[in-house]
Chains A and B, each alone.
Chain A
Amino acid sequence: MWDYSEKVMDHYRNPRNVGKIDDADAIGSAGSLSCGDQLKIYLKIKDNIVTDAKFQTFGCGSAVASSSILTEMIIGKSVDEVRKITNKDIADELGGLPPEKMHCSVMGYEALEDALKNWGDYQDLDDLREPEKPEKIVCTCFNVTENLIWDAIKQNGLKTVEEVTNYTKAGGACGKCKGLIQDIIDTYYTKEKSEPKLSPTQRILKINNIIETQISPELQKDGGDINLVDIQDNKIYVKLHGKCSSCKNATLTIKRFVEQTLKTALDEDIEVIEV
């Protein structure tokens, strides 16, 4: 038996806003019958505000609950606000979902994204739009695209193939795409790491911040402390105070701890020198 929150149970027992809006301004869908769950969402939008939302869902308890709460979350909100909603927001609003059921919240996000993609400013500009590139399907069993996997990794900080399967279903059937999913995870984190190149000032601020928030409090516990003195390329000069400064053994341990902490945070080869 799944460990569903009270809110999830309330929503699948008494789903809100069930049905279809015949003159909907935007309609989105996610999933499919053969995959075991499908969600359709209908939106009424006036002056950039979602004035009404309804849903129809074929799926399990958490799929119905995710759809139901999503409609409650978006009614009355501006389209810009609605666009910011992620699957994590849906799951959080439900008081959490079991890890294996996170894909239900992703389906809500996907349907919403689909609806908004089909709506709005672009409607009259159809002719001007570039034809959409077909999205690359990674998991053929569940028709999961690379973009969806990317979004799920980004929004939820997913790190393993198993987590991606829990959130998107990709890789959950034949498993042949697990290698591809791993590639996407690797690419995401390589990109994320290389993207923010720190300026010299930013780097100094970051090092100082790490020393103040992560290293200093640890040393204070033992009655000591640490100060940043200077930074020259990969050499970081620090001064130890209190108990730490007089104890040789401790100095070695501290040097290693300070070095390790900074190395992990900065992803650089760093040498700590005591002055």
Chain B
Amino acid sequence: MIYLDNNATTKTDERVLDAMMPYFKEEYANPSSMYNFSKKASNALKEARGVLKDFLNAKDEKEIIFTSCGSESANTAIKGVLNYNKSKKHIITTKVEHPCVLNLYQTLEKQGYKVDYIGVNSNGDLDLEQLEAAITTDTALVSVMWANNETGVIFPIKKISEIIKSKSPDTKFFVDAVQAAGKIPLDVQENGIDLLGISGHKFHAPKGVGALYVNSKTLITPLIVGGHQERGKRAGTENVPYIAGLAKAAELAMDGLKYEATEVKRLRDKLEKNILKNIYNSRLNTGVSNRVPNTTNIGFEYVEGELILLHMSDLGICASSGSACTSGSLEPSHVLRAMNVPFTAIHGSIRFSLSRFTSEKEIDYVCEKLPEIIEKITAISPYQEELAALKAHK
């Protein structure tokens, strides 16, 4: 099996699993308890908070809240800010956010909030002028993803933060960093971020754990109310084994950033160049944009994405598609539509996302097999004349 769908989820690192096991077996105490037996559990929690503080370069450990997933982090941040200050009813986000955030904003619109959705250009880069124009002192929250899950395009977080603070210093800035964590350095202080969410399973921790950074100047109303855990910002007995795993994964990710930027990127570029060179009806959907090192999104013209995935799956290759047929809805990816990817290519768009576990041999195999697959599918397309013209042109 060749797994090139690491933006969907990743393999749990063995070392992460090892770090978790003691808290399932021997050290099962509730970290809040008042006996010696709970000390190791509460220490694990404290250490994990320290690691996450370093991972995000937060100022203080108290700014880290452990959650169950990226969606919970985003919901806690967004609803937390809006519910704390109910007088402001304006939100700004982008057209290409992850559905977990977009669907939440659509719900909030029904509750009376005004939401502006900022567009992107054909490379996937955010329209900063439009963003700047939309900000007013009534803006409660600006919510932007750090890196896009489908294209890997990185948004200029520092610049966005500067724009926000210059126009409306009280407006809060939430960054969905789920796809950036483990791929590029994250520094909340340097980038002027108020709230930031991550999810463990996107960087080799297991599913079911995430974290939210909320800086000390930002107050939120908790989403989950109950016990005093997480300084009252997220009730519920702490999931010690998973939090220990998240911390180990963050530690490994920090060590691995250079490898991501060099080796993972080299393999991604190799795959990308090979496909674009050897398959005449392929196009890079992101153009020249700044991207995370592991992701490439390629459109295959006049063929449909699900069929490509099914044929790849027969060879044990896992990737994902922005086509309508795979998204469960009947429309292709909202991200690719926002980028105006031509309709000849949007339904045949495939995302390959690598990880530190991807080998050169695997990439070579995909480079070898993919042209045959695309050729087979192209042969049954009703657009033979258009394809011939495309071939002649290339």
Residues of A within 8 A of B (CB): 9, 12-13, 15, 18, 20, 29, 33-34, 36-40, 55-61, 63-64, 100-101, 103, 141-142, 165, 169, 172-173
Contacts and interface: CB of A to CB of B under 8 A. Distances in A.
Interface in B80-113: none
Interface stretch (B2-10, B209-217, B237-245, B328-336): B328-336
Given A36-B332, A142-B330, A172-B329, A60 B323 contact: yes
B307 A59 contact: yes
B384 A56 contact: yes
A20 B344 CA distance: 21
Contacts of B37: none
B382 A173 contact: no
B379 interface: yes
B157 to A, nearest CB: 32
B252 interface: no
A249 B303 CA distance: 68
19 contacts: A18-B380, A29-B382, A33-B302, A34-B343, A36-B323, A36-B324, A36-B330, A40-B382, A60-B304, A60-B306, A60-B310, A60-B323, A64-B380, A100-B328, A103-B330, A141-B331, A165-B330, A172-B331, A173-B331
By CB atoms of chain B within 10 A, which of A18, A60, A63, A172 has the most?
A60
B219 interface: no
Interface string B305-338: 1110011001000000001111011111000000
Nearest to B382: A56
A56 B381 contact: yes
Interface residues of B, number: 27
Given A172-B330, A173-B330, A61 B379 contact: no
Contacts of A9: 310
Given A40-B382, A169-B330, A172-B330, A60 B325 contact: yes
* Closest CB pairs A-B (n = 10): A172-B330, A60-B325, A60-B306, A56-B382, A36-B324, A34-B343, A40-B382, A36-B347, A61-B310, A173-B331
A142 B329 CA distance: 13
B383 interface: yes
Nearest to B378: A58
A40 B332 CA distance: 22
Interface in B134-177: none
Nearest to A165: B330
Interface of B: 302-307, 310-311, 314, 323-326, 328-332, 343-344, 347, 379-384
By CB atoms of chain A within 10 A, which of B323, B332, B382 has the most?
B382
A55 B384 CA distance: 13
Contacts of B325: 36-37, 59-60, 63, 101
Given A56-B381, A63-B325, 10 more contacts: A13-B314, A33-B344, A36-B304, A37-B304, A57-B380, A58-B381, A60-B306, A60-B323, A60-B326, A61-B307
B330 A33 contact: no
A172 B306 CA distance: 18
A18 B379 contact: yes
A58 B383 contact: yes
Contacts of A63: 304, 325
B310 A12 contact: yes
Nearest to A37: B304
A12 B324 contact: no
A33 B380 contact: no
Nearest to B343: A34
A197 B137 CA distance: 68
A15 B328 CA distance: 24
By CB atoms of chain A within 10 A, which of B314, B323, B331, B383 has the most?
B331
Nearest to B379: A18
Contacts of A103: 330
Contacts of B382: 29, 38-40, 56-58
A80 to B, nearest CB: 27
Contacts of B379: 18
B306 A33 contact: no
Given A33-B344, A36-B324, A36-B347, A12 B381 contact: no
Contacts of B347: 33, 36-37, 58
B198 to A, nearest CB: 27
B385 to A, nearest CB: 11
Contacts of A64: 307, 380
Nearest to A4: B310
A37 B302 CA distance: 10
A100 B330 CA distance: 9
Nearest to B306: A60
A259 B23 CA distance: 64
A33 B328 contact: no
A12 B307 contact: yes
A59 B310 contact: no
A114 to B, nearest CB: 13
Given A36-B332, A38-B382, A60 B343 contact: no
Given A18-B379, A40-B382, A172-B329, A60 B307 contact: yes
A196 B383 CA distance: 47
A141 B83 CA distance: 37
Nearest to B313: A1
Contacts of A18: 379-380
Contacts of A33: 302, 343-344, 347, 383
Contacts of B332: 36
A230 B306 CA distance: 62
A199 to B, nearest CB: 45
Contacts of A38: 382
Nearest to A173: B331
Nearest to B303: A58
B56 to A, nearest CB: 35
Given A18-B379, A33-B343, A61 B306 contact: yes
A62 B382 CA distance: 16
